[in-house]
Amino acid sequence: MFRKSFLPVSVIVSILIIWELSSRILAIPTWVLPAPTIIMQEAINGWSNYQHHILSTVFLTVSGFAIGVSVGLLIAIMLHLLPKIREALYPLLIMSQNIPIIVLAPLLVIWFGFGVTPKLLIITLVCFFPVAVSTIDGLRHTNPELIHYMKMAGATKKQIFTKLELPHAVPQMFSGLKISATYSVMGAVISEWLGANKGIGVYMTLASSSFRTDRVFVAILFIMILCLIFFAIIIAAEKIILKWHPGKEEQS
Amino acid sequence: MSTLELENISKSFGELTILDHLDLRVNDGEFVSLLGPSGSGKSTIFHLIGGLYQADHGTIRLDNEAINGKKGSISYMPQTPSLFPWRTVLENVVLSVELHQKPDKQKALEMLERAGLKDYANAYPHELSGGMRQRVAFVRSLLSPQSFICLDEPFSALDEFTRLEMQKWLLTIWEQERPSVLFVTHNIEEAIFLSDRILVLGSKPANVIKEFTIDFKRPRNEELTLTQEFLEKKKEIYQTLRGVLND
Ligand SMILES: Nc1ncnc2c1ncn2[C@@H]1O[C@H](COP(=O)(O)OP(=O)(O)OP(=O)(O)O)[C@@H](O)[C@H]1O
Ligand SMILES: [Mg+2]
């Protein structure tokens, strides 16, 4: 663990040092590019000013992620069990990802107002897709030998699904979950730009319109931290649930 | 209580005819082995009995009841162990029971102990050796609720010692309960040691070309394998098989 994190940490530290030195030596104005120390200062001193924004974004992200993942799993299971519908809807599913969220967002506001609904919808839209696609793949690529065995043993369709296909898809599902988790934070921030009174997105817009570049960076910092935390939670869950997975031991 | 009858069974995959008017019968409480060259269609016979494929022609009867295309009527050990990687050894061996009724964990543990796998009850399949996985699959088929047992090369991945142990163990279990068994193997000695009857399959398309009755008295033990009669049977079967291969 220590060895693995040593390299990326040292890269980040070097970048920060170069950044700090160059903004001091070149005397870059703070509103253009604040030095890391100034950002840290604002992060510490301004905590009471912005902490409610972070809480609000965390809440929005978690709810959106939960809804998005549930929708993704439901779609995956439905499309897997009903191959005809899968043929019909799969292209639509992929096309849904070609709609730029930035364009869609104002439309959602027109349709659903400024409440929490359009925000959750946006997060759901960015979250469901990775989970749905990876789970469908996992379900479809179940080991045919095991399916043969289950059929010979007299398993019903339902038993084959619950005892074989579903657990078989779990590792794939987790790779989708990891992507969705990081997307969900982005989705939340974007949705807050639409018009909200709280959230990191709001804090960021206020900061940039008043040229408080240091605060913009504080916002970015917290977006990254949230992403990492969500990612870590998914990995921890994966470690616990996939303790049977052969690849796991060799990696650590 | 358990007889199996294949009558006039034909099966082709596309252009390739694998089984052509095959007849085969396993009587109640009988241990029958199938010997035949690789690719002759032994596993295909099992897949037909298990209902995975439909025969093009002919009838399969279990206890005088046609079971063509009916799944789940036999206890089956596939040629590859086919264990579920996310289930522990114990959870794997009760799988086939679980599909039909509530599993008896205690009985499963006892069987695992007899197969020398007691310490691995909570291990996952990827932590086992190939031979151990085969033994798990074997125990799973013994625990299945169906009374007719089909074993597809159950001991092929085992070393000589473990193989002999497993054969003896299979015989003790079999002699206690006398289930009807259809057994596929490549090993002539194994077939003689275990069976009441040996069917030699010819290839392309497969058919029973010769049948050997093995009437050594039971219970059998390993000394049998060194007797003159045993070696003579072995020689006889070996020559038949060579004949098949030379055709
Ligand atoms: N699903 C399938 N589709 C097409 N051909 C098949 C299929 N299953 C088996 N075959 C063919 O049927 C033939 C017999 O296969 P089978 O697995 O029954 O052989 P086997 O006697 O069990 O051989 P081995 O001793 O090597 O296990 C082979 O030529 C194989 O290519
Ligand atoms: Mg075979």
pLDDT of A99 > 90? The answer is no
User: Under an 8 A CB cutoff, do B99 and A146 touch?
Assistant: no
Chain B residue with minimal CA distance to A168? B86
**Residue among A177, A185, A180, A194 nearest A54 (CA):** A185
CATH number, position A179: 1.10.3720.10
Q: Do residues B130 and B104 lie in contact, with contact meaning Cβ atoms separated by under 8 Å?
A: no
d(CA B83, CA B133): 8
- Determine phi and psi for A132, rounding to 5 degrees: -60, -50
Best probe residue, ligand 1, of B42, B187, B188, B241 (max atoms within 8 Å of C-beta): B42
Mean per-residue pLDDT over chain A, rounded: 90
At B202, is the secondary structure helix, strand, or coil?
strand
Neighbours of ion ligand 2 (CB under 5 A): B 42-43, 79
Contacts of A109 (CB under 8 A, 6+ apart): A118, A194, A195
Q: What pLDDT score was predicted for residue A185?
A: 93
pLDDT band at B195 (very low <50, low <70, confident <90, very high): very high
pLDDT for res A251: 44
State the pLDDT at residue A252: 38
**Average pLDDT in the B26-41 region?**
91
Cβ pair B50:A152 closer than 8 A: yes
Q: Which of B6, B9, B18 has most ligand 1 atoms within 8 Å of its beta carbon, as the pocket-test mutant?
A: B18
DSSP calls for A1-34: -HHHHHHHHHHHHHHHHHHHHHHHHTT--TTT--
Both A126 and A185 in a single domain?
yes
pLDDT tens digit sequence for A49-61? 899 999 999 999 9
Confidence of residue A248 (pLDDT cuts 50, 70, 90): very low
Q: What is the pLDDT of residues A132-146, one digit of tens each?
A: 999 999 999 999 999
Based on C-alpha coordinates, what's the Rg of chain B?
Answer: 18
- Is residue A75 one of the residues assigned to a domain? yes
| pLDDT value of position B165 | 86
B204 backbone φψ class: left, alpha, beta (φ>0; ψ -120 to 50): left
B12 ligand 1 Cβ < 6 A: no
Q: What percentage of chain A reaches a pLDDT higher than 90?
A: 66
Does B219 score more than 70 pLDDT? yes
pLDDT digits (tens, 9 = 90+) for A8-38: 899 999 999 999 999 889 888 888 889 999 9
Chain B residue with Cα closest to A246: B126
Nearest CA to ligand 1 atom 16: B41
Q: Which of A164, A177, A89, A122 is nearest to B96 (CA)?
A: A164
**Residue contact B84–A146, C-beta within 8 A:** yes
Rounded to the nearest angstrom, the gap between the alpha carbon of residue A11 and the centroid of all alpha carbons in its chain is: 24
Is the C-beta atom of B42 inside 6 A of ligand 1? yes
The pLDDT of B22-47, averaged and rounded, is 92
Domain assignment present for residue A136? The answer is yes
* 3 state SS of A144: helix
Question: What are the angstrom distances between the C-alpha of A9 and each of A12, A13, A14, A44, B36?
Answer: 5, 6, 9, 21, 63
Distance A164 CA to ligand 2 centre (A): 23
* Angle at B119 (CA atoms; ends B88, B179), nearest 5 degrees: 75
Whether the CB of B43 sits within 6 Å of ligand 1: yes
Shared domain check, A172 and A136: yes
CB proximity under 8 Å: A 127-186 to B: 145-146, 148-156, 159, 163-164, 167-168, 170
Question: According to the model, what pLDDT value does residue A1 have?
Answer: 60
Which of A147, A152, A165 to probe the B interface (max B CBs under 10 A)? A152
Which residues of chain A are within 8 Å of residue B78 when distances are taken between CB atoms? 145, 148-149, 152
Stretch B153-171: mean pLDDT = 88
Domain containing residue A8: 1-33
Strand B149-152 versus strand B181-185 pairing type: parallel
Q: What does the alpha-carbon distance between residue B150 and residue B4 come to, in Å, rounded to a whole number?
A: 11
Q: Which of A210-214, B1-5, B123-127 has the weakest average pLDDT?
A: B1-5
Which residues of chain A have a CB within 8 Å of the CB of B76?
149, 152-153
* Long-range contacts of the stretch A214-223 (C-beta < 8 A, 24+): A214/A30, A214/A34, A214/A38, A214/A39, A214/A41, A214/A42, A215/A42, A215/A46, A215/A50, A217/A34, A217/A39, A217/A42, A218/A39, A218/A42, A218/A43, A218/A46, A218/A50, A219/A50, A221/A39, A221/A43, A222/A54, A223/A185, A223/A186, A223/A189
Residues A13 and A109 placed together within one structural domain of the fold: no
What integer pLDDT is reported at residue B137 of this predicted model?
93
Is the peptide bond preceding residue B219 cis, with omega within 30 degrees of 0? yes
For all residues of chain B together, what is the average pLDDT? 90
Same domain as A111, residue A193: yes
Judgement on whether residues A147 and A91 belong to the same structural domain of the protein:
yes
Instruction: Copy the structure tokens of residue A36.
Output: 């890391």
Q: Which pLDDT belongs to residue A100?
A: 84
Judgement on whether residues A15 and A99 belong to the same structural domain of the protein: no
Residues A114 and A213 in one domain: yes
User: Can you tell me which residue has the tokens 């479809």?
Assistant: A140
Q: What is the spatial order of strands in the sheet that B181-185 belongs to? A: B75-77, B149-152, B181-185, B31-35, B197-202, B207-213
Confidence of residue A247 (pLDDT cuts 50, 70, 90): low
Asked if residue A207 and residue A120 are part of one domain, the reply reads yes
Mean pLDDT value of segment B106-133: 90
Query: What DSSP character marks residue A162?
Result: I
Q: Please choose, from the candidates B132, B234, B136, B239, the residue with its C-alpha nearest in 3D space to the C-alpha of residue B190.
A: B234
Number of domains, chain A: 2
Domains and CATH numbers, chain B: 1-74+148-247 (3.40.50.300), 76-145 (no CATH)
Q: How far apart are CA B53 and CA B51, in angstroms?
A: 5
CA of B80 to the centre of ligand 2 (A): 9
Based on its alpha-carbon atoms, the radius of gyration of chain A, rounded to whole angstroms, reads 22
- Ligand index nearest the alpha carbon of residue B22: 1
